[in-house]
Amino acid sequence: MFTALDLDLNKKVTSFDVERQKWFDHRFICPFCGDLVSFVSRHYRKETVMVSPHFRHKPESKCTYAFEPETHEHMRMKEIMYAWLLVQGFDVDLEHKVDKVVADVYAVKDDIKVAVEVQASYVQAERIVYKNKVYFENDIVPLWIVSRNLVKWKDFEKLLFRGCIWKIYETHNELYVLDTDSKTVYTTKYASYLGDLIIQVNDKKVELVKGSVLEFNVDPEKIGVCPSCLEVLYEDTMIPYYEFNVISGETNGFRMCKYCGYKWRENV
């Protein structure tokens, strides 16, 4: 999982915060069960699979959230969607609890609330129906993203008969499939880099439509990101970080990064 309560700072932090701020000596607990968790740095597994920074329960933990299957692919999908929503001007929270379910990524902007569920393995269709019901009852629009590893387009018609895939397709009248290596989104109508798509919400349905996320970064109040974090966003969304308008409302010649909270002075 990507979030934990930092006992030294007395607040919720993400594994990306810990990695960037180098809080490696801090103590962390699970926000759901209260057990101690350890921080695992970003690394490569078998030299090819990138493992995102995350928190890990001890083997003897009985946390129900910890025992939900979470593969490296699932974590990587969450990380990519987190960065993608952030650069669109959303306030983004990872692993956000809504009643009795936990949204992988939760994003709010103006009066729009979106819960992103990334699916890297097959689950019971009833689970998808239940989560959708909870989100709609709380005026949250669900967005389901499926791993490329689950989909073979030549068998698309057969694939739809799998209960969980059909329910995901039914939610949007479309299937959004993410390839984490190329950061490409595949649908039944197009294939596109994630950085060339934006979220559009109509009638309680989410669509991913063509449009550069760069247009959301012109307003200084929407995003101000320090140079080091821009490199992270570039890696996660394939958007040239040097094109961002990195301005915040901070005065006295300083800017505060909305991604990590770091203050820096602009060189002009």
% of the chain with per-residue pLDDT over 70: 70
By CB atoms closer than 10 A (0-12, 13-18, 19+), residue 24 is exposed
* pLDDT of residue 29 exceeding 60: yes
Query: Quick one: how far is CA 72 from the chain centroid?
Result: 14
Residues 6+ apart with CB under 8 A from 127: 164
Nearest 5°: the CA angle 183, 189, 193 is 20
* pLDDT of residue 244 exceeding 60: no
Which tens digits make up the pLDDT trace of 109-151?
888 999 999 998 888 888 899 999 999 999 999 999 998 887 7
Can you give the pLDDT at residue 246?
Answer: 36
Encoded tokens for 38: 């350890």
Encoded tokens for 13: 């932090």
Which of 135-144, 153-162, 241-250 comes out lowest in average pLDDT? 241-250
Can you give the pLDDT at residue 172?
Answer: 84
Across 150-169, b (16+ Cβ under 10 Å) vs e yields bbeeeeeeebeeebbbebbb
Q: Longest C-alpha distance within the chain, in Å? A: 61
- CA-based nearest residue to 19, from 47, 46, 51, 66: 51
Question: Per-residue confidence at 156, pLDDT binned at 50, 70, 90?
Answer: low
- Distances 206 to 110, 114, 234 between C-alpha atoms, Å: 15, 8, 24
Nearest 5°: the CA angle 50, 52, 55 is 140
Taken in order of first residue, the domains within the chain and their CATH numbers are 3-57 (no CATH), 72-211 (3.40.1350), 215-265 (no CATH)
Q: How far apart are CA 178 and CA 145, in angstroms?
A: 7
Q: Which DSSP category does 134 fall into?
A: H
Encoded tokens for 191: 């294939």
Q: Which DSSP category does 196 fall into?
A: G
Strand-pair category, 205-210 with 254-256: unpaired
Q: How far apart are CA 254 and CA 268, in angstroms?
A: 12
Q: How far apart are CA 80 and CA 183, in angstroms?
A: 8
